[in-house]
Structure 1
Amino acid sequence: MDLGGGPDGQHQQLIRDQLKSRVKKICEGFRATLYPCPDQSTDRREMAVGVMQRLEDLMAVLVRPTTIATESLWRQLRTSRVACPSTRDGEVGSTIAPVLNVMVTKEAPPTFFRTNKFTQGFQEMINSYGIATYQEANPAFWTVTTFPFLFAVMFGDAGHATIGLCVGLWIAEDRQRNVKIFFAGRYIITLMAMFSIYTGLIYNDFFSKSVNVFGSSWKPTSKEEDLLSLESDMINPAKGATREAPTPSAWTRFGKSPKTKSYSSTASK
C-alpha cells in the first residue's frame, strides 16, 4: 500500500505499526507460532500458492497411500497427546495398562495447581482474573487469608457476621449440594463471617449498635445535658474527661470503647 509522504500517510503508517505490535503481543500471550509475512501483496500471494502446493505434495506422498494400512492397523488403538502432572502418572489408565511416552516439546506446560474442597473456591476466584503461567507463584495461597480479612475490615458487624457464619456452616455440609449457587463458595462465606465477627468485636458493632460488653475507662466530667446539646464532641483525657486508676484493668480490655461511639451517635441525632 502506498501511504504517501503527507501527514495522512504518516498517520496511517503509525496506526498500522501500533496494530501490528498489539497483534504480535496477543499472539505471544497465547503462545501462537508466528511466521514472517511479506509486505507486498504479490509476494504474499506467491507465498500462499507455494504453501498450498507443498501441502498437496505432502498429502499425496504421506497420507493417501497409507490410509488403508492405518485404518487396519490402528483400528483398536487410541492415541492422544495430553499434559499430565508428573505426580499422577500412576493414576492414569484403565483395566489395561496404558503405554505412556514422554514427548520432548518446546511448548510451555499448562498451569496445574493442586486444590482441595477448601481451596477450590479461592482458586476459581483467582482464575476468573487470570491464570498464572507455568512455575509462577499461586496467589490463591495468600487469598485464603487476605480476601476474607479485607472483606471483614470493610464489613465489621459482629451481629450480621454471626448470621453469615451460621449460613456458611449450613451450606458447608455435603448434604446441601442442592444450593449449587452458594456451594462452591461455602468456605469463602464461612471465613468472611469469622473474620467479620473478629473485626465487629474490635469496632464494637453489633447490628450497627454499640454494646457495652467490656466496659470503658472513660468517665466524662461534664454534665449529661451539656454533652447532649453538642452536635459533635471528642472525649479528651486532658479536658472534660478523666480516667480511672491508671492500672491495666482501667483501660478498654478489647476493641473500641463503647463511650466514644455512644456519644458520637447521640450527638448526631
Structure 2
Amino acid sequence: MIKPMAFLISYWGEQIGQKVKKICDCYRCHIFPYPDTPEEQEETLQSLMTQIGDLNSVLDETEEYLSQVLQKVVVVLQSWSVRIRKMKAIYLVLNQCNFDVTGKCLIAEVWCPQSDLQQLRHALEEGSRKSGASVPSFYHQIATNQTPPTLNRTNRFTSGFQGIVDAYGVGNYREVNP
C-alpha cells in the first residue's frame, strides 16, 4: 500500500523552479500550484472539498450496491454450489462414455453387482422417462473373463474402518473383508 505524502516547496526565481519541477517529475510527484491571493486559496480549498465530497458519495453508493449484490448472492450461493457439483458429476460421467457408431447415443461399460441389476434397470427406465428421451436407456450384460473389482459395502459406522483397511491395500474379488 502506498501512503501519500504532501509537502510544500517554496523557491525564488524561475530557474530554481524549473529544476524543482524536473526533480518532482523524476520522482513522479503531482504538482499543485499554490494560489497567491487568499481569495484564490479559499476558492481552491472549496473546489477540493467539493471533489472530496463527490468522491465519498460515489464510494458510499458503490459500497452499498456491492453490499446489495453480495446479499443477493448469499441467498442463492448454496443452491448454486449444489447445482455446480451436480453438473460437474454429470459431465465427469458423460466424459467416460463412448459415442455409438451412429452418434445418437452414449455407451458406458461399467461393473455392477449381480444383486443391484434390478435397481440399475429401474434407474435407467426412470431416467429415460423423466428426461423424455426418444431412445430408452437399457443395459446389456456382457460376458467377460476379467476379474471383477472388489466391492466392500459400508455404512456410516464401517466406512471409517474401511478407509484404514484400504490404506493397506484392497483385497481381491470374493476375498473376506478384514
What TM-score, normalized to structure 1?
A: 0.24
Higher RCO structure (Cα 8 Å, ≥6 apart): 1
Bigger Cα Rg: 2
TM-score of the superposed pair, with normalisation by structure 2: 0.35
